[in-house]
């Protein structure tokens, strides 16, 4: 009986030792790669319907609502649009929205373009009072020539209007197109000039990497 117990004990010790050795030996099975994100059919269908050539004011408004809740109140927002008409349209939309309405005293909406007087343009650089969010809606005049120090968020529509010479008609025209890569970088750089910032580009990664022009085509 004693020999049987000793034999069983030795057998159990050998079994434990075997299991321990198996744990130390690396598995020969190949590790599975991390699963890559695959867009759903709904996502692909919605992207296929996206018209990047049209400025989506609804989307810009929703984005501003979202970041307005998450960003520090002392940080300003800067929205780039192609022309004076587009700047005015977004300003009007925001003024009509309950969250951004001036009557609540929580937001200061400021246009910035070349048609404004110097005094009107200086409003974009003034720091508002405590608890007031400044939202500057600008054309490409705010790309390189000016720095608004309190900007923490840039929203870039990716569109610009520039004057081009038409030799067939013998006159200049104001054409709208995509910004250049250099201009897109300049716009993104307006955020975080003196503090951390973010830039939200309102166009796809494909547009940014493959199709955003280097410059307007030469006539």
DSSP state of 31: P
Q: Which helix (H) or strand (E) holds 44?
A: helix 41-49
pLDDT score, position 4: 38
How many whole angstroms separate alpha carbon 193 and alpha carbon 200?
Answer: 16
The full set of domains in the chain, from first to last, is 53-211 (3.40.50.300)
Determine which of 11-20, 59-68, 69-78 has the lowest per-residue pLDDT on average: 11-20
Confidence of residue 163 (pLDDT cuts 50, 70, 90): confident
Mean pLDDT, the chain, integer:
79
Q: Over the stretch 119-136, which tens digit does the pLDDT of each residue have?
A: 999 999 999 999 999 999
Q: How many CB atoms lie within 10 A of CB 138?
A: 23
- Mean pLDDT of all residues in 73-84: 94
Q: Is residue 35's pLDDT more than 80?
A: no
Q: Is residue 32's pLDDT more than 90?
A: no
How many whole angstroms separate alpha carbon 160 and alpha carbon 143?
Answer: 11
Q: Are the C-beta atoms of 110 and 134 separated by less than 8 Å?
A: yes
- Its pTM stands at 0.73
Token pair 């937001």 is at which residue?
107
Q: Over the stretch 17-27, which tens digit does the pLDDT of each residue have?
A: 444 444 444 44
How many whole angstroms separate alpha carbon 197 and alpha carbon 192?
Answer: 4
Token pair 């494909």 is at which residue?
206
| 81 alpha carbon, distance to own chain's centre | 14
Q: How far is CA 164 from CA 26, 63, 113, 175, 215, in A?
A: 67, 32, 19, 7, 12
Contacts of 155 (CB under 8 A, 6+ apart): 60, 63, 64, 77, 78, 79, 80, 199, 200, 202
């Amino acid at each position: 009986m004693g020999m049987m117990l000793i034999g069983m004990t030795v057998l159990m010790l050998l079994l434990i030792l075997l299991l321990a050795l198996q744990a130390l030996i690396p598995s020969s099975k190949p590790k599975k790669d991390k699963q890559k994100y695959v867009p759903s059919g709904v996502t692909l269908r919605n992207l296929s319907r996206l018209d990047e050539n049209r400025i989506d004011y609804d989307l810009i408004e929703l984005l501003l609502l979202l970041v307005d809740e998450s960003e520090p109140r002392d940080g300003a927002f800067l929205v780039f649009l192609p022309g004076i008409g587009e700047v005015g349209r977004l300003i009007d939309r925001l003024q009509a929205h309950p969250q951004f309405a001036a009557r609540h005293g929580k937001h200061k909406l400021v246009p910035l373009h070349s048609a404004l007087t110097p005094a009107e343009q200086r409003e974009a650089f003034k720091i508002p009072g405590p608890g007031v969010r400044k939202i500057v809606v600008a054309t490409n005049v705010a790309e390189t020539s000016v720095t608004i120090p309190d900007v923490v968020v840039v929203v870039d529509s990716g569109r610009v209007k520039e004057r081009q010479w038409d030799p067939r008609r013998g006159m200049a025209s104001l054409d709208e197109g995509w910004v250049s890569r250099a201009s897109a970088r300049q716009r993104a750089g307006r955020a975080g000039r003196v503090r951390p910032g973010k830039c939200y580009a309102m166009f796809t990664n494909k547009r940014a990497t493959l199709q955003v022009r280097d410059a307007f085509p030469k006539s």
